[in-house]
């Protein structure tokens, strides 16, 4: 794994058994959508989220029944649980009694300093961290009146809450300053990172449904992570929360901030030389590989002329040519299969590659596979020429048009 460069140094807190900040790997969070009082339903969703890549799961604690259910959920959860608290500070105290691993408090709706300090004091006594969850849509009225809905207002809200915590000596804190506006969210986190060393939880709140929600969330979260800001993340999507966990994990893998545990599928955009419907084959391969959690890069290439060479950095790939699929490992063709069997052969080879290693699969290459691929490549070159997209002709035409 490539080590992240220039990550912002922070204090470290512990949520259950997950380290947050202080150089720990960036963690992925999501939130259940079940009624917390439905213990079995909530636990089932927590297990699915954990399997999809969530390191920490947030569960709403919005009434007495939810608090009681937390006491039954926590001993059976595979990951640490954060209790989401709004308005009623007594529910935060009840969640602590249930044994929750972390609290999330929104300064915009638990405004009484006495109540905030009471929760912080009890959390301190139990060694339970708190996330200060500032939201642009629920700022303190006096802060909003004074500063508007601005990065400065979000930071001021977080600092006010930190002040209440400091009065009782509580410092086991992580902070988020979320907004549905990506530029607002980015600038708020940048400013917050300048004035505190507490770990930061990143997210674009109310990002909406995919694909637009995915784009918005990625734009905000990835920008900050690339700047070294952020210790834990959540995609807030209007979708099955499993999609949040998957997206978070995939983003961290793509940025080199977590070791790869799922398939990274790359594919050529297709061109005049393509011998197969690349989009269809790529979609079929992605569906077939999605649930296998194979930590490799797989390439789908439209032609054998350029495919194996262009994708030689991939662990495994397949390229089409003359009705056949040319399967390659690290750029070397190892098998040739009928075009109809391309995806099946790719999945089989992916599982063998992970189980046996690249050297073993290269040693097990079918005799004559590389030679057959080369014959096909040369035949296609003879038929299509070096310029199947007629780029040369277009360039010549442009040059003629531009001549004085």
Query: What would the pLDDT profile of 39-93 be if each residue is shown by its tens digit?
Result: 999 999 999 999 899 999 999 999 999 999 999 999 999 999 999 999 899 999 9
Please say whether the beta carbons of 202 and 235 come within 8 A: no
Give me the mean pLDDT over the 313-324 stretch.
90
Helices H / strands E in the chain, number of each: 15, 15
Q: For residues 134 and 116, what is the distance between their CA atoms, to the nearest angstrom?
A: 14
| pLDDT above 50 (res 2) | no
Comparing 42-46, 103-107, 226-230, 262-266, the range with the smallest average pLDDT is 262-266
Q: What is the pLDDT of residue 5?
A: 55
Give me the mean pLDDT over the 21-36 stretch.
97
Please say whether the beta carbons of 220 and 204 come within 8 A: yes
Give me the mean pLDDT over the 148-172 stretch.
97
| CATH 3.40.50.2300 fits domain 264-384 | no
| pLDDT above 50 (res 230) | yes
Residue-averaged pLDDT of the chain:
93
Q: For residues 231 and 240, what is the distance between their CA atoms, to the nearest angstrom?
A: 24
Q: What is the pLDDT of residue 400?
A: 87
Identical fold, 12-254 and 264-384: no
Please state the φ and ψ torsions of residue 235, each to the nearest 5 degrees: -85, 120
Element (H, E) at 321: strand 316-321
* Nearby residues of 119 by Cβ (< 8 Å), 6 or more positions away: 89, 92, 93, 96, 103, 105, 110, 130
| pLDDT above 90 (res 395) | no
* 175 Cα distance to chain centroid: 19
What CATH number does domain 12-254 carry, 3.40.50.300, 3.30.413.10, 3.30.420.40, 3.20.20.20?
3.20.20.20
Q: How sure is the predictor about 384, in pLDDT bands with cuts at 50, 70 and 90?
A: confident
pLDDT tens readout for residues 248-290: 999 999 999 999 888 889 888 777 777 788 899 999 999 999 8
Please say whether the beta carbons of 10 and 206 come within 8 A: no
* Nearby residues of 240 by Cβ (< 8 Å), 6 or more positions away: 33
DSSP state letter for 25: P
pLDDT tens readout for residues 128-149: 999 999 999 999 899 999 999 9
Q: What is the pLDDT of residue 174?
A: 98
Q: For residues 320 and 338, what is the distance between their CA atoms, to the nearest angstrom?
A: 9
The pTM of the full predicted model, rounded to 2 decimals, is 0.86
Q: Is the peptide bond before 211 cis (omega within 30 degrees of 0)?
A: yes
Q: For residues 92 and 128, what is the distance between their CA atoms, to the nearest angstrom?
A: 11
Please return the burial class of 4, using the count of CB atoms within 10 Å of its CB with bins 0-12, 13-18 and 19+.
middle
Please say whether the beta carbons of 185 and 149 come within 8 A: no
Q: For residues 53 and 46, what is the distance between their CA atoms, to the nearest angstrom?
A: 11
Q: What is the pLDDT of residue 1?
A: 42
Q: For residues 234 and 214, what is the distance between their CA atoms, to the nearest angstrom?
A: 11
Q: For residues 283 and 346, what is the distance between their CA atoms, to the nearest angstrom?
A: 13
Q: What is the pLDDT of residue 302?
A: 87
Q: Directed axis angle between helix 278-289 and helix 342-356, to 10°?
A: 40
* Nearby residues of 226 by Cβ (< 8 Å), 6 or more positions away: 255
Highest mean pLDDT among 67-81, 295-309, 372-386: 67-81
% of the chain surpassing 70 pLDDT: 99
- Which residue from 169, 70, 176 is spatially nearest to 131, judged by alpha carbons? 176
Element (H, E) at 299: strand 297-301
Number of C-alpha atoms within 13 angstroms, CB side, residue 309? 7
| pLDDT above 70 (res 3) | no
| pLDDT above 50 (res 308) | yes
* Inter-CA distances, 143 with 37, 255, 402, Å: 35, 36, 60
Q: What is the pLDDT of residue 112?
A: 93
């Amino acid at each position: 794994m490539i080590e992240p460069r220039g990550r912002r140094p922070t204090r470290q807190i512990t949520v259950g058994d997950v380290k947050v900040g202080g150089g720990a790997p960036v963690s992925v969070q999501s939130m259940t959508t079940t009624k917390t009082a439905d213990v079995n339903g909530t636990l089932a969703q927590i297990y699915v989220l954990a399997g999809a890549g969530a390191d920490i799961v947030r569960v709403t604690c919005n009434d007495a029944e939810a608090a009681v259910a937390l006491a039954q959920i926590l001993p059976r959860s595979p990951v640490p649980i954060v209790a989401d608290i709004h308005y009623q500070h007594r529910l935060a105290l009840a969640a602590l009694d249930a044994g929750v691993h972390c609290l999330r408090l929104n300064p915009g709706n638990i405004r009484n300093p006495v109540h905030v300090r009471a929760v912080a004091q009890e959390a301190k006594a139990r060694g339970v961290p708190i996330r200060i969850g500032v939201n642009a849509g629920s700022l303190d009225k006096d802060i909003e009146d004074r500063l508007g809905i601005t990065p400065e207002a979000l930071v001021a809200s977080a600092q006010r809450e930190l002040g209440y915590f400091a009065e009782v000596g509580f410092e086991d804190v992580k902070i988020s300053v979320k907004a549905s506006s990506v530029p607002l969210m980015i600038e708020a986190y940048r400013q917050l990172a300048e004035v505190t060393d507490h770990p930061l939880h990143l997210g674009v709140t109310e990002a909406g449904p995919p694909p637009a929600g995915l784009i918005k969330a990625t734009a905000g979260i990835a920008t900050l992570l690339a700047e070294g800001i952020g210790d834990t993340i959540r995609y807030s999507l209007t979708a099955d929360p499993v999609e949040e966990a998957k997206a978070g994990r995939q983003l961290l893998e793509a940025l080199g901030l977590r070791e790869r545990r799922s398939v990274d599928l790359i594919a050529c955009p297709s061109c005049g030389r393509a011998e197969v419907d690349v989009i269809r084959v790529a979609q079929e391969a992605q569906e077939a590989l999605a649930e296998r959690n194979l930590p490799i890069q797989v390439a789908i290439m439209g032609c054998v002329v350029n495919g194996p060479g262009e994708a030689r950095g991939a662990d495994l790939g397949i390229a089409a040519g003359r009705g056949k699929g040319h399967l390659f490992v690290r750029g070397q063709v190892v098998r040739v299969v009928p075009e109809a069997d391309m995806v099946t052969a790719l999945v089989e080879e992916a599982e063998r590659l992970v189980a046996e290693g690249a050297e073993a699969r290269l040693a097990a290459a079918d005799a004559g596979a590389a030679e057959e691929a080369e014959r096909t490549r040369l035949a296609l070159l003879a038929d299509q020429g070096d310029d199947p997209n007629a780029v040369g002709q277009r360039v010549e035409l442009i040059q003629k048009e531009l001549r004085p």
